[in-house]
Amino acid sequence: MNRHVGKTLRVSSQAAGWYDDPEDPTQQRYWDGNAWTDQRRPQQGPPPFQGQFGQSKTQDLPKYGQTAEHGQVYGGGGPAQSPQFGQQPPQQGGYPAYPQSGQGFAYQGRNSGTTPDGQMLSGWWRRVFARIIDGIIAWFIALPLTGYFYLQSSRVMNSWIEDVMDAARAGSSTPVSVPPEVYKWAVPASLLGALVAFVYEYLFLVAKGRTPGKMATGIAVRLREVPGKPPRAAAAKRTGVVLALTLAGSVPVLGLFASLALLLNYLWPLWDDKKQALHDKVAATNVVRV
Q: Which residue has the higher pLDDT, 20 or 15?
A: 20
Window from 23-37, 75-89, 96-110 with minimum mean pLDDT: 96-110
pLDDT at site 85: 46
The reply to whether 50 and 156 lie within a common domain is no
Looking at the fold, whether 32 and 154 belong to one and the same domain comes out as: no
Digit-coded pLDDT (tens) for 152-165: 888 888 887 887 78
Q: What pLDDT is recorded for position 17?
A: 81
Residues 46 and 145 in one domain: no
Q: Are residues 145 and 255 in the same domain?
A: yes
pLDDT of residue 173: 65
Type of residue numbered 116: P
- What mean pLDDT comes out for the span 203-217? 96
The answer as to whether 108 is a domain residue is no
Cα 106 to Cα 70, 114, 274: the distances in Å are: 17, 8, 13
* 1-10, 121-130, 272-281: least confidently modelled range: 1-10
How far is it, in rounded angstroms, from Cα 82 to Cα 104?
Answer: 11
For residue 110, is it within any domain?
no
Alpha-carbon Rg for the chain in angstroms:
33
Residue 117 falls within a domain, yes or no? no
- Whether 128 has a pLDDT exceeding 90, the answer reads yes
Residue 278 is predicted with a pLDDT of 95
- If asked whether residues 143 and 87 sit together in one domain, one would say no
In a domain, 162, yes or no: yes
Give the residue numbers spanning the domain of 63. 2-96
pLDDT of 208 above 60: yes
Residue 134 and residue 211 in contact, taking contact as beta carbons nearer than 8 Å: yes
Q: Do 10 and 131 sit in the same domain of this protein?
A: no
Do residues 237 and 231 lie in contact, with contact meaning Cβ atoms separated by under 8 Å? no
Report the domain count for the chain: 2
Same domain? For 271 and 135 the reply is: yes
Instruction: Give pTM, 2 decimals.
Output: 0.57
Q: Among 43-47, 104-108, 267-271, where is mean pLDDT lowest?
A: 104-108
10 Å CB burial of residue 103 (0-12, 13-18, 19+) is middle
Clarify whether residues 39 and 128 are in a common domain: no
Q: Which of 43-47, 57-61, 132-136, 185-189 has the lowest mean pLDDT?
A: 57-61
> How high is the pLDDT of residue 46?
53
Residue with the bigger pLDDT between 254 and 116: it is 116
33 located within any domain: yes
- Sign of the Cα pseudo-torsion (56, 60, 64, 68, in order): negative
SS3 19: strand
Asked whether residue 139 falls in the same domain as residue 245, the answer is yes
pLDDT digit string, tens, across residues 215-266: 999 999 999 999 999 999 999 999 999 999 988 887 777 888 988 999 999 9
Together in a domain, 162 and 283: yes
Higher model confidence: residue 196 or residue 14?
Answer: 196
Give the C-alpha separation, 93 to 18, whole Å.
18
Is residue 232, in this structure, part of any structural domain at all?
yes
Query: Among the listed ranges 43-52, 114-123, 233-242, which one has the minimum average pLDDT value?
Result: 43-52
pLDDT of residue 175: 61
| Residue 29 shares a structural domain with residue 159 | no
Average pLDDT over residues 77-98: 44
pLDDT cut 70: percent of the chain above it? 70
Reduced DSSP (H G I as helix, E B as strand, rest coil) percent helix, strand, coil of the chain, to 5: 50, 15, 40
Per-residue model confidence (pLDDT) at position 14: 72
Instruction: Please report the pLDDT score of residue 196 as a whole number.
Output: 95
Residues 276, 140 share a domain: yes
Q: Is the pLDDT of residue 135 over 80?
A: yes
Average pLDDT across the chain, whole number: 76
Predicted pLDDT of residue 161: 82
User: In 3D, which of 246, 232, 225 has the Cα closest to residue 138?
Assistant: 246
pLDDT at 93: 40
Whether 115 is covered by a domain: the verdict is no
Q: Is residue 89 in some structural domain?
A: yes
